[in-house]
């Protein structure tokens, strides 16, 4: 039920925000025309879907229960947290250090506990990606204090 | 353009494709594609998207040669894990699992893999021939398309894709609409006014589709894998023993007809909207089983059940380039990513592309022949080598994929916002998988959204606001009628089923 409600709200917000842009007429549609009707279409589709779910149309619903899906999602949240942290620190610490720390953190989250193992794998991964992206492909990744 | 003209251009194309530089990129694409196909969780969509930054320093022809190589290379690679581990490397290899894995259990993994490579080579080659000779006349015909025809064709594409992706039609349609809405962020393609940018300059260029693709299909898949129990993440996989590596003459004889039939089915399916390789493999498997003299062997290691679908898979993947090059409308997510790559390199695919960029079109077509040959050479002797990548435990592989996703994404525009969009889409992709929503319609809609909007608004401007323009033009009407058919069909089915149930209950 939850995703359908979220989609319904998303459609309503889209249509509402589109009203603030010029919708125009059928002869000369404005910038808000297309997103406004898309928002309405989403509201209609989500409402139909909700109606079917409400009537117990199991074949249509798939596996929709609760806000968060079942399963061991704690590790998923930790993974997302680690990635967000790495993204946030990229410009502060520079790519090589962030790549190393991210790898080490993700390995730890996935259950690797031998520190030597973590350091060697993280160092190799950060080194190879640095060589590939920064040296070979010349991508200007943030370097912070590592502007080698 | 006549057949002789096409042949002449094809020869020129071979001249382009066989320069040392392009040969190198073709080889690189084939190898990366095979790797991407072998690795479960990293499909051709994320693979192509990740490698786009690596093509920035290349000319458009070399770039597309490499990216196309990743696409069809992944089709070869995907069969490897299906046969050896019963794990499809990408969705199009699901049917190969059925008989391929049974063959592997009987010690016949070698012949199964070899037949896959040979079938893919033959079918891929035939499909490229079709691409070379069909695309130019189709492009000339498509020049007559106006905005109403393009609009109706795209709507048809969305509905068909939503109908055949396997999940619920209404959920897929909602995802397509969400993709279209996200596609409206940024500057209005007609008037140039900003929309939904909330005063942020960084949003004026719109949402980067590569970020959405890597998020939904790369990070989303990794997050689903992360949920697995610790002992699963701990292990690499154990490969079955290879008793013999090459197929017997009998195997080849049995496989020839399924390969040719698979090529024909795949080529036809690739031309219509939808996840062509998936549908083509399913159709080919069903056809082979139905016409087989020994259908009871299917599911227990019938070589025809591997030869047909794998050939269909590759043929569909090659013919999917026709709508992309000829109409500028990709009918499946991997070709949608290729459309994005073409646009990044300043090439606007559509009816005029073959005439405007003959070097690129014919160079890419010729490179596909070469790429298929490289893949055949690569796959026959080196399959066990590629399969060894699977020995790397998931707990090491998954963080590596994340690191490459983050780095690759930053490389596209050197833009922090793209990374956040990618992470958001990664979380969204994870939830969508858990809630059984399809990502493909969203991505396709995001790429095609601006084109759809322009075609729609131009049509209304031409007709002074009269919707009849979509029905007045015969081709547009045809597409709309077909769309209605696809929308009504599921409702009709439900009505028939409930009527039957009522009759049975009485």
Q: What are phi and psi of B187, to 5 degrees?
A: -80, 135
| Span between the terminal Cα atoms of chain A, in Å | 52
Q: Cβ separation of B457 and A46 shorter than 8 Å?
A: no
Residue B181, token pair as written in the block: 């809405």
Q: Give domain limits for chain A.
A: 2-61, 73-146
* Least confident among B18-32, B297-311, B331-345: B331-345
Which helix (H) or strand (E) is B212 found in, with range? Answer: helix B209-213
% of chain A residues with pLDDT over 70: 85
Residue B239, pLDDT score: 59
Q: Sign (positive/negative) of CA torsion B142, B144, B147, B152?
A: negative
Q: d(Cα A37, Cα B150) in Å, to the nearest integer?
A: 19
pLDDT reading at B90 higher than 70: no
Residue B242, pLDDT score: 59
Q: d(Cα B434, Cα B447) in Å, to the nearest integer?
A: 24
pLDDT reading at A100 higher than 90: yes
Q: Cβ separation of B453 and A34 shorter than 8 Å?
A: yes
pLDDT band at A141 (very low <50, low <70, confident <90, very high): confident
Q: Give domain limits for chain B.
A: 3-505
C-alpha distances in angstroms, B500 versus A52, B104, B496? 20, 43, 6
pLDDT band at A61 (very low <50, low <70, confident <90, very high): very low
Residue A39: partners with Cβ closer than 8 Å, 6 or more residues away: A11, A12, A13, A14, A15, A16, A18, B181
Radius of gyration of chain A (CA): 24
Q: What are phi and psi of A147, to 5 degrees?
A: -70, 70
| Window 75-104 of A, Cβ < 8 Å to B | 75-76, 79-80, 83-84, 86-87, 90-91, 95, 99, 102-103
CA angle B205, B210, B214 (to 5 degrees): 140
Q: d(Cα B298, Cα B278) in Å, to the nearest integer?
A: 19
A-B contacts (CB, under 8 Å)? 177
Q: What is the DSSP letter of A29?
A: B
Total-model pTM: 0.80
Q: d(Cα B149, Cα B172) in Å, to the nearest integer?
A: 23
Q: What are phi and psi of B19, to 5 degrees?
A: -65, 145
Task: Report the DSSP beta bridge partners of residue B187.
Answer: B194
* Residues A136 and A129: beta-carbon distance below 8 Å: no
* Residues B37 and B44: beta-carbon distance below 8 Å: yes
Q: Mean of the per-residue pLDDT values for chain A?
A: 85
Cα B237 from chain centroid? 27
Q: d(Cα B406, Cα B211) in Å, to the nearest integer?
A: 10
Helical segments of B271-301, H only: 276-291
Q: Cβ separation of B180 and A48 shorter than 8 Å?
A: no
Residue B66, token pair as written in the block: 């490499």
Cα B339 from chain centroid? 12
pLDDT digits (tens, 9 = 90+) for A12-58: 999 999 999 888 888 888 899 999 999 999 999 999 999 888 877 55
Q: d(Cα B155, Cα B170) in Å, to the nearest integer?
A: 15
pLDDT reading at A65 higher than 50: no
B402 contacts in chain A (CB < 8 Å): 79, 83, 102, 106
CA count, 13 A, side-chain hemisphere, B254: 19
pLDDT digits (tens, 9 = 90+) for B281-333: 888 998 898 888 888 888 888 999 999 999 998 898 888 888 888 888 887 77
Q: d(Cα A114, Cα B289) in Å, to the nearest integer?
A: 51
A110 contacts in chain B (CB < 8 Å): 226, 230, 233, 394-395, 398-399
CA angle B277, A4, B432 (to 5 degrees): 40
* Residues B331 and B345: beta-carbon distance below 8 Å: no
Nearest to A79 among B226, B410, B420 (CB): B226
CA of A44 vs chain B CAs: smallest distance (Å): 10
CA of A39 vs chain B CAs: smallest distance (Å): 7
Q: What are phi and psi of B245, to 5 degrees?
A: -100, -30
pLDDT band at B236 (very low <50, low <70, confident <90, very high): low
């Amino acid at each position: 039920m939850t995703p359908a409600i979220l989609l319904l709200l998303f459609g309503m917000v889209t249509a509402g925000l589109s009203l603030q842009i010029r919708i125009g007429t059928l002869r000369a549609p404005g910038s808000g025309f297309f997103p406004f009707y898309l928002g309405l279409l989403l509201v209609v589709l989500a409402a139909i879907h909700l109606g079917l779910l409400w009537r117990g149309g199991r074949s249509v619903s798939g596996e929709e229960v609760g806000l968060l899906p079942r399963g061991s999602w704690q590790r998923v949240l930790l993974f997302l947290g680690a990635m967000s942290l790495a993204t946030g620190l990229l410009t502060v610490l520079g790519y090589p250090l962030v790549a190393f720390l991210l790898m080490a953190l993700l390995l730890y989250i996935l259950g690797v506990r031998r520190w030597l193992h973590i350091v060697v794998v993280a160092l190799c991964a950060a080194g190879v990606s640095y060589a590939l992206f920064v040296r070979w492909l010349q991508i200007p990744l943030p370097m912070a204090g590592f502007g080698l | 353009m006549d057949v002789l003209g096409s042949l002449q251009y094809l020869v020129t194309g071979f001249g382009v494709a066989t320069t040392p530089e392009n040969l190198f990129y073709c080889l690189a694409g084939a190898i990366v594609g095979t790797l991407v196909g072998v690795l479960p969780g990293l499909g051709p969509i994320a693979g192509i998207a990740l490698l786009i930054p690596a093509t920035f320093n290349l000319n458009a022809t070399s770039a597309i040669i490499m990216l196309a190589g990743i696409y069809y290379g992944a089709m070869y690679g995907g069969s490897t894990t299906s046969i050896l581990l019963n794990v499809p490397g990408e969705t199009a290899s699901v049917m190969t699992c059925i008989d391929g894995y049974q063959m592997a259990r009987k010690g016949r993994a070698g012949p199964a893999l070899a037949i896959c490579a040979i079938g893919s080579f033959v079918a891929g080659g035939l499909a490229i021939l079709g691409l070379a000779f069909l695309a130019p006349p189709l492009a000339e015909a498509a020049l007559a398309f106006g905005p109403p025809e393009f609009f109706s064709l795209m709507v048809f594409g969305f509905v068909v894709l939503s109908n055949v992706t396997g999940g619920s039609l209404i959920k897929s349609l909602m995802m397509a609409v969400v993709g279209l809405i996200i596609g409206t962020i940024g500057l209005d393609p007609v008037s140039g006014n900003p929309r939904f940018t909330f005063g942020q300059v960084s949003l004026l260029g719109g949402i980067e589709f590569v970020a959405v693709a890597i998020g939904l299909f790369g990070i989303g898949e990794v997050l689903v894998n992360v949920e697995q129990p610790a002992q699963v993440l701990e292990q690499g996989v154990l490969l079955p023993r290879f008793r013999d590596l090459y197929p017997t003459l009998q195997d080849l004889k049995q496989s020839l007809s399924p390969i040719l039939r698979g090529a024909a089915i795949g080529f036809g399916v690739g031309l219509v909207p939808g996840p062509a390789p998936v549908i083509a493999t399913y159709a080919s498997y069903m056809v082979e089983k139905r016409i087989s003299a020994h259908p009871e062997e299917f599911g227990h290691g019938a070589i025809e059940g591997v030869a047909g679908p794998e050939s269909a898979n590759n043929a569909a993947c090659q013919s999917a380039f026709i709508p992309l090059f000829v109409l500028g409308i990709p009918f499946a997510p991997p070709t949608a990513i290729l459309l994005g790559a073409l646009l990044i390199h300043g090439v606007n695919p559509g009816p005029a592309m073959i005439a405007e960029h003959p070097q690129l079109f014919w160079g890419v077509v010729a490179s596909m022949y070469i790429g298929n040959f490289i893949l055949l050479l690569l796959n026959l002797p080196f399959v066990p080598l590629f399969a060894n990548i699977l020995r790397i435990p998931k707990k090491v592989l998954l963080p590596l994929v994340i690191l490459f996703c983050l780095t690759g994404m930053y490389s596209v525009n050197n833009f922090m916002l793209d990374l956040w969009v990618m992470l958001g889409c990664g979380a969204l992709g994870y939830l969508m998988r858990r809630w059984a929503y399809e990502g493909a319609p969203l991505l396709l809609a995001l790429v095609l959204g601006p084109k759809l909007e322009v075609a729609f608004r131009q049509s209304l401007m031409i007709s002074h606001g009269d919707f009849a323009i979509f029905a007045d033009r015969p081709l547009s009407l045809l597409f709309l009628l077909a769309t209605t058919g696809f929308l009504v069909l599921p409702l009709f089915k439900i009505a028939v089923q409930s009527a039957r149930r009522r009759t049975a209950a009485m």
